[in-house]
Amino acid sequence: MSKKLISFIDITKSYGDNIVLDELNLYVRENEFITLLGPSGCGKTTTLRILGGFETPDHGRVIFDGKDITCLPPNERNLNTVFQKYALFPHMSIAENIAFGLKIKKKSRDYIEDKIRYALKLVNLEGFGDRSVDSLSGGQQQRIAIARAIVNEPKVLLLDEPLGALDLKLRQDMQYELIRLKNELGITFVYVTHDQEEALTMSDTIVVMNQGYIQQIGTPEMIYNEPVNAFVADFIGDSNILDGIMVQDRVVSVLGVKLPCVDEGFGSNRPVDVVIRPEDVEIVAPEDGFMEGDITSVIFKGVHYELDILVNGYEWLVHTTQLYAVGQHVGIRVIPFNIQIMNKPESEDEEAVEIDA
Amino acid sequence: MVKKTVSGLYLAVIFLFLYLPILVLIVLSFNDSKSRVVWGGFTLRWYSSCFQDETIMNALIMTLQITLAAAVISTVIGTLAAIGISAMKRRNRAIMLGATNIPLLNADIVTGISLMLLFVKFTNLGFVTVLIAHITFDIPYVILNVLPKISQANRYTYEAALDLGASPLRAFYKITWPEIKSGVFSGFLMAVTMSLDDFSITFFTKGAGVNTLSTMLYTELRKGIRPELYALSTLLFLLAFFLLLLMNYRSDRQVRQHAGHHPDRASA
Amino acid sequence: MRRLMRQLLAGPYLVWIAGFIILPVGVILYYAFTTADGAFTFAHIAAIADPVHVKSILLSLKLGLSCTVVCLLLAYPLAMILSSFRFRHQSFVVFLFILPMWMNFMLRILSWRLILANSGIINALLVRLGFGPVKLLNTPATVVFGMVYDFLPFMILPIYNSMTRIKDDIIEAARDLGAGNLTILAKIIFPLTVSGIISGIIMVFVPALTSFVISDLLGGGKVLLIGNVIEQEFMQGTNWNLGSGLSVVLMIFVIASMAVMNIFDKDGGGAAVW
């Protein structure tokens, strides 16, 4: 395991009555691609801005490379930010934009020229140095913003929803581009996004946040396969989240049907959240299923069909590669390993907010 | 925090500089002594004698007439012109805008003199010549306020309205007008501001017996200052204050209504 | 077809341009280049070389430039302070600067006369403090003071406008790349407000250069600007041809100063007042 490069210790930040971060603790390892993921207002951008030096926390400390940088202004921190809306300087050429930080550090002319050439090559925009900012497309401006940051050789690159303003295809291309850059540069990336697909594709570690609290920290696989609560499950991909009762170890009751599962230690007759991914639901003949219901909608999604199946008043979301007809009566099954049991949130703070899928 | 104090202090000094003369006039308007430095007690008599003063009242009425007439006429001509110019090809548009810039950028005194030279060749100086002169320097402000609104406006909505069977007039009223009216309104305001405050151009284009407040004051000031003028200043300031406050309130409300449709969602 | 119809709406204005913008310029040029009996002459233009006229145009340039420089020095920090305050309604700021303009400027200048007079408020204070009356009126400096007072909002508003258009993240990006406050001011804020500064300079310098009322009211007839000379040719003298000739020269000065400013305004946009 590589060493901890950045630690957030008990960070609290509020604007007026609105507490944005509450006693946040988090560390970032060297050379890690870490993503802060969550809906609008979850505190992810504030966390990044505290690291960048644009906000000062009300309480708590930020340790960077062994030093307390909590009160250090942004221009004295050895990290650089790629801004959401590029924030290129409109009155400067592309080369001047890239050279900005180096000129402040009083680097030699030759060094700066070399760096500009290197950076433009790195982001696949060779020969764009003399162009003006507004002659570039959104994707190109984004690349220049990255080039402008990395020529300063920061130990950490902060990226604030850098792909948010790009269209879908470009966004996917840039995801691979960013992974390549990260590997070539060998530095730490701290990435902020609300797009779970982006987070799953690129990150070494994902930090899921909601309403100022960290919900879960883990690898993309962990976060997707073993969400710790209904919020994470709902935010990462589509899920069926049902109210259930843990009857005893390895038995959960959902919609009045007792199902075998693998979880233990929840006690007996406790209310729990039951999470089942739509691709884990199998469709079988009515008599073979745990429960049976009617298909109310079928939508073709390319790789699979998305079905709604109405069972005892609950509409299940199911992914399948086989075609069924609307109105067909079917049974559904889930293997015990694919049933996730979670504690219900205890306090209002932990309450999962409704989010748009 | 020192920085904040210095900033605040600087701001206060500038505003004192801008508002001190107005404050002095207001205080003097209630002063029962003709002296400028001695407080002789509170009085309203300068106000009553101000209202009875024919020179002041005539100039006030003349000013309001010219300002309003010039602002209304230039708003109509200017708005129509802006719509026309927006439909023109690049070269013609450049020519029209170039001509529009002439009264805007030229020295007032030169504009005034050249108009006067033209007027005396064909007619006598009087109310009408002043009005024409005011309209001439008002129109550019209207055009410059309306034109950006027209280019921002969605041209397809107007065509869609025609496509759906609206007459051009109805389509304009229902579709184009709501999009440009804030520009027309601020153009009108600019025209009022410019007309109200103009001296030089009125001075050269007015005939004998025609006096706006500016030209009346210019003659009066050479004779010496009467306390009635303090009362007049106070009244004008209050009028301006309430009118501008009203308009500010109006535009704020528009902003807020607009914002209501696009709630500003703070990102994370 | 429909496009043509729309263009026709500019018709009344086109007539207005021809009649009241182009034609008057023609008339003043005609007067400037003819004698009283209609013969062509270049004498009225050349009259600017007359020592009296040279003196007044130099004084006008001097006072106009001083006024512009003072306005710029006062307005720039002010615009920075105002834009750092982040008023919820920017229109309120504009309101505060427009409000005095709605009260006749003749009255406000009159008030300054009261304040600055030998028997005025400031001197009354000074006498009480034992500094004796100081001559504050009827000097060239008083005229510059009055011009600054009258034209300052025209410098503040365009600069303030261009400053509020600079997005926060641009400043943050510069800071992120290592720039301190001075670098940000010199490399980011200043270049991005040049068009506002240019508009401000034009809007202050042209009226200051050509003013004749302020010099009349605060200069006590002792400060003779080129505007005063021209005014006197029309209102007191009878030599309209000479007055027109000097007006044309003044026009050339205005055009020249704008041409100079345009060289600096790379954006070509220029910021509107509001």
What pLDDT does residue C274 have?
34
The secondary structure of residue A278, as a DSSP letter, is G
Q: Same domain for A57 and A196?
A: yes
pTM over the 0.90 mark: no
Domain count, chain A: 2
Residue B68 has pLDDT above 90, yes or no: yes
CATH number for position A75 = 3.40.50.300
Residues of B in contact with C109 (CB under 8 A): 21
Most A CBs within 10 Å: which of C175, C177, C194, as the mutation test of the A interface? C177
Q: Judge: C103–B118 Cβ closer than 8 Å, yes or no.
A: no
User: In chain B, which among 174-233 make CB contacts under 8 A with chain C?
Assistant: 186, 193, 196-197, 199-200, 204, 213-214, 217-218, 221, 225, 229, 232-233
Q: Judge: A46–B266 Cβ closer than 8 Å, yes or no.
A: no
Q: Judge: C179–A73 Cβ closer than 8 Å, yes or no.
A: no
Q: If pLDDT is split at 50, 70 and 90, which confidence band does B254 have?
A: low
**Domain annotation for chain C: domains and CATH numbers:** 1-32 (no CATH), 46-264 (1.10.3720.10)
Structural domain span for residue B245: 53-267
Q: Judge: A38–B268 Cβ closer than 8 Å, yes or no.
A: yes
Alpha-carbon distance of C193 to C203, in angstroms, equals: 15
CATH number for position A299 = 2.40.50.140
Q: Measure Cα distances from C135 to C115, C117, C120, C140 in Å.
A: 12, 8, 11, 12
What pLDDT does residue C259 have?
87
* ipTM of this complex: 0.86
Q: Same domain for B155 and B31?
A: no
Residues of C in contact with A87 (CB under 8 A): 167, 169-170, 172-173
Q: What is the CA radius of gyration of chain A?
A: 24
Task: Identify which of A52, A84, A105 has the shortest CB distance to residue C176.
Answer: A52
> Which residue did the predictor score with more confidence, B38 or B200?
B200
Q: Judge: C192–A91 Cβ closer than 8 Å, yes or no.
A: yes
Shortest distance, CA B245 to any CA of chain A (angstroms): 30
Full pLDDT tens readout for chain A, 357 residues: 578 999 999 999 998 888 899 999 999 999 999 999 999 889 999 999 999 999 999 999 999 999 999 999 999 999 999 998 889 999 999 999 999 999 999 999 999 999 999 999 988 899 999 999 989 998 899 999 999 999 999 999 999 999 887 888 888 888 998 999 999 889 999 999 999 989 999 999 999 999 999 999 999 999 998 888 889 988 888 889 999 999 999 999 999 899 999 988 888 888 898 999 999 999 999 999 899 999 999 999 888 999 999 998 899 999 999 999 999 999 999 999 999 888 887 644 444 444 333
HEC assignment per residue over A41-61: CCCHHHHHHHHHCCCCCCEEE
Q: Residue A241: helix, strand or coil by DSSP?
A: strand
Alpha-carbon distance of A339 to A242, in angstroms, equals: 11
Shortest distance, CA A48 to any CA of chain C (angstroms): 13
Alpha-carbon distance of A335 to B81, in angstroms, equals: 75
HEC assignment per residue over B146-189: HHHHHHHCCHHHHHHHHHCCCCHHHHHHHHHHHHHHHHHHHHHH
Residues of C in contact with B144 (CB under 8 A): 272
Interface check for B116 against chain C (CB to CB < 8 A): the answer is yes
Q: How many CB atoms lie under 10 A from the CB of residue B175?
A: 18
Q: Same domain for B13 and B112?
A: no
Tell the residue number behind the tokens 């086109």, with chain if given.
C14
Domain count, chain B: 2
Is B48 within a domain? Answer: no
User: In chain B, which among 40-59 make CB contacts under 8 A with chain C?
Assistant: none
Please, what is the end-to-end C-alpha distance for chain A in angstroms?
A: 35
Q: How many CB atoms lie under 10 A from the CB of residue B246?
A: 10
Tens of pLDDT, residues A245-276: 999 999 999 998 999 999 888 888 888 989 99
Q: Same domain for B24 and B128?
A: no
Domain end: A203, A225, A247, which one?
A225
Shortest distance, CA B131 to any CA of chain C (angstroms): 12
Segments of chain C scoring below 70 in pLDDT: 1-2, 86-90, 265-274
Domain end: A180, A204, A225, which one?
A225
Residues of B in contact with C271 (CB under 8 A): none
Amino acid at C12: P
Residues of B in contact with A84 (CB under 8 A): 267
Is B204 within a domain? Answer: yes
Residue B251 has pLDDT above 70, yes or no: no
Structural domain span for residue A322: 282-333
Name the residue of chain C whose CA is nearest to A51's CA. C176
Q: Same domain for B58 and B1?
A: no
Is there a contact between B25 and B19 (Cβ–Cβ < 8 Å)? no
* The residue count for chain C: 274
CATH number for position B188 = 1.10.3720.10
Alpha-carbon distance of B166 to B171, in angstroms, equals: 6
Is there a contact between A304 and A281 (Cβ–Cβ < 8 Å)? no
- Rounded to 5 degrees, what are φ and ψ at A192? -115, 130
